[in-house]
């Protein structure tokens, strides 16, 4: 990343023009480097006249372009069509033929540029072999590393798309269950002809708006999630009244910290689903607190194993989905413990909030 004042310029190495420029730069350096090194060696043991040095310079310079051609021929033709298809003998034969072609080209150039000296095939073969082998090794490494990076990038994109699809599926499973419970609340209030019906419908409208629009976002503010939780809890309080001893504590470090939507409500929903009914003296405790970097959330409710199993069979939707979502979204940056101790069902969730 290059910075100029307040503006930033980011080099995109996947851009074809930048790739071509980098290749040209590398080849220029490789072509110039031997002459820089030779210029610092002093007088060579075999003295050449200035004219002969110029002729050899031209010969080596032109030879580099043939090595460049072999580099890309091996990378994009021979490796792809022979080596990757396990035609190893045909590939080895092609490499030998290429080296023979390089020697022939070197012979023709030598005869054209250096007419005063005799061409020595053995010396030419020995002289050109290191550069040729280095070119083949370099091009093989280049294309294999390049193909590996492309493959890993595709795998990453595929995993990302799979995660998005799975998260959308899990989220869609939670939403119908939530709607089902709230509609039951409305039915109960209608039968009781309660004056709370209108504010309840307004709260339901707000919750539906949250579900339809906010849950499409990758993250929502904790302030929004808190309002959503409070509205849901108020609806449940209207339904059950004093039949359930309910304790709610919410202390946020900041309303502007963010969390993925619909992560907390399933635990509260589960507590009302399993913590009321035929249970004697039902109690539910909900605590949510955050600091600068962490979120702690706990839900505790009284529990009856017999009734809980019946409700699980009827709904078919439990905490498995939200646990799966947490693993996909947070990985090692979360901890979820679910315990059944005697008549109590306890959930504790810790999340590392993004800073």
CATH number of the structural domain spanning residue 287: 3.30.565.10
User: Per-residue confidence at 172, pLDDT binned at 50, 70, 90?
Assistant: low
Q: Is 299 exposed, middle or buried (0-12, 13-18, 19+ CB in 10 A)?
A: buried
Tell me which of 101-105, 217-221, 244-248 is least confident.
Answer: 217-221
Angle at 207 between CA 320 and CA 189, to 5 degrees: 100
Report which of 313, 307, 239, 309 is spatially closest to residue 279, judged by C-alpha positions.
Answer: 307
In this structure, the answer to whether residues 114 and 203 fall within a common structural domain is: no
Per-residue pLDDT at 129: 84
Q: Answer whether residue 175 is part of any domain.
A: no
Q: Answer whether residue 184 is part of any domain.
A: no
Per-residue pLDDT at 44: 43
Tell me which of 42-51, 78-87, 233-242, 313-322 is least confident.
Answer: 42-51
Range of the domain at 290: 194-352
Q: Answer whether residue 4 is part of any domain.
A: no
Report which of 214, 217, 190 is spatially closest to residue 201, judged by C-alpha positions.
Answer: 190
- Per-residue CA distances from 306 to 182, 312, 317, 354 (Å): 24, 10, 17, 40
C-alpha count within 13 angstroms, C-beta hemisphere, residue 326: 21
Instruction: List all residues 6 or more positions away from 277 whose beta carbon is below 8 Å from its beta carbon.
Output: 304, 307
Q: Answer whether residue 134 is part of any domain.
A: yes
In this structure, the answer to whether residues 115 and 199 fall within a common structural domain is: no
For residue 335, give both structure tokens: 């901890």
Per-residue pLDDT at 53: 66
In this structure, the answer to whether residues 141 and 229 fall within a common structural domain is: no
- Per-residue CA distances from 8 to 3, 4, 270, 354 (Å): 5, 6, 49, 24
Instruction: List all residues 6 or more positions away from 113 whose beta carbon is below 8 Å from its beta carbon.
Output: 55, 58, 59
Domain stop point among 101, 133, 154? 154
User: CA 99, CA 9: separation in Å to the nearest integer?
Assistant: 43
In this structure, the answer to whether residues 329 and 215 fall within a common structural domain is: yes
User: CA 229, CA 235: separation in Å to the nearest integer?
Assistant: 10
Domain stop point among 122, 154, 186? 154
Q: In the predicted model, what is the mean pLDDT of residues 245-254?
A: 92
For residue 182, give both structure tokens: 């709230």
Structural domain count of the chain: 2
Q: Answer whether residue 183 is part of any domain.
A: no
* pTM check: above 0.75: no
Q: Answer whether residue 328 is part of any domain.
A: yes
User: CA 156, CA 164: separation in Å to the nearest integer?
Assistant: 12
Report which of 264, 262, 260, 240 is spatially closest to residue 250, judged by C-alpha positions.
Answer: 264
In this structure, the answer to whether residues 140 and 273 fall within a common structural domain is: no
Which of 143 and 155 is assigned the larger pLDDT? 143
339 φ, ψ (degrees, to nearest 5): -130, 145
Report which of 316, 305, 240, 238 is spatially closest to residue 274, judged by C-alpha positions.
Answer: 305
User: Per-residue confidence at 111, pLDDT binned at 50, 70, 90?
Assistant: confident
Per-residue pLDDT at 45: 43
Q: Answer whether residue 229 is part of any domain.
A: yes
Report which of 346, 324, 348 is spatially closest to residue 171, judged by C-alpha positions.
Answer: 324
In this structure, the answer to whether residues 134 and 242 fall within a common structural domain is: no
Report which of 174, 229, 180 is spatially closest to residue 203, judged by C-alpha positions.
Answer: 229
In this structure, the answer to whether residues 60 and 144 fall within a common structural domain is: yes
Domain stop point among 88, 122, 154? 154
Q: 264 pLDDT exceeds 80?
A: yes
User: CA 246, CA 296: separation in Å to the nearest integer?
Assistant: 19
User: Per-residue confidence at 52, pLDDT binned at 50, 70, 90?
Assistant: low
Q: Answer whether residue 217 is part of any domain.
A: yes
In this structure, the answer to whether residues 125 and 214 fall within a common structural domain is: no
Q: What is the mean pLDDT of the chain?
A: 76
297 φ, ψ (degrees, to nearest 5): -140, 130
Per-residue pLDDT at 2: 43
pLDDT in tens, 277-325: 778 888 999 999 999 999 999 999 988 766 555 454 444 345 777 888 8
In this structure, the answer to whether residues 83 and 227 fall within a common structural domain is: no
């Amino acid at each position: 990343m290059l910075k100029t004042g307040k503006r930033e310029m980011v080099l995109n190495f996947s851009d074809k023009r930048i790739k071509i420029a980098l290749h040209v730069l590398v080849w220029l350096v490789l072509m110039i480097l031997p002459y820089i090194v030779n210029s610092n060696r002093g007088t060579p043991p075999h003295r050449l006249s200035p004219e002969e040095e110029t002729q050899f310079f031209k010969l080596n310079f032109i030879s580099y372009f043939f090595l460049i051609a072999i580099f890309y021929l091996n990378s994009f033709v021979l490796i792809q069509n022979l080596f990757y298809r396990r035609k190893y003998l045909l590939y080895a034969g092609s490499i030998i033929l290429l080296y023979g072609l390089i020697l022939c080209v070197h012979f023709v150039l030598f005869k054209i540029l250096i007419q005063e000296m005799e061409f020595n095939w053995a010396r030419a073969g020995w002289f050109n072999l290191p550069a040729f082998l280095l070119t083949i090794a370099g091009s093989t490494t280049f294309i294999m590393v390049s193909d590996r990076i492309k493959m890993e990038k595709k795998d990453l994109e595929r995993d990302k798309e799979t995660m998005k699809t799975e998260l959308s599926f899990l989220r869609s499973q939670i939403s119908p269950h939530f709607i089902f419970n709230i509609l039951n609340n409305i039915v109960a209030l209608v039968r009781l002809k309660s004056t709370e019906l209108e504010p309840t419908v307004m709260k339901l409208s707000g919750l539906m708006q949250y579900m339809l629009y906010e849950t499409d976002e990758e993250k929502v503010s904790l302030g929004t999630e808190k309002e959503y939780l409070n509205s849901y809890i108020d609806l449940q309080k209207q339904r059950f009244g004093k039949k359930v001893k309910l304790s709610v504590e919410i202390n946020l470090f900041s309303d502007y910290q963010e969390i993925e939507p619909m992560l907390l409500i399933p635990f509260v929903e589960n507590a009302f689903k399993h913590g009321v009914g035929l249970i004697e003296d039902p109690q539910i405790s909900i605590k949510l607190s955050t600091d600068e970097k962490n979120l702690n959330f706990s839900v505790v409710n009284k529990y009856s194993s017999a009734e809980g199993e019946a409700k699980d069979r009827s709904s078919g939707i439990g905490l498995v989905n939200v646990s799966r979502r947490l693993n996909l979204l947070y990985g090692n940056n979360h901890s979820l413990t679910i315990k059944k101790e005697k008549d109590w069902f306890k959930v504790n969730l810790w999340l590392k909030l993004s800073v």
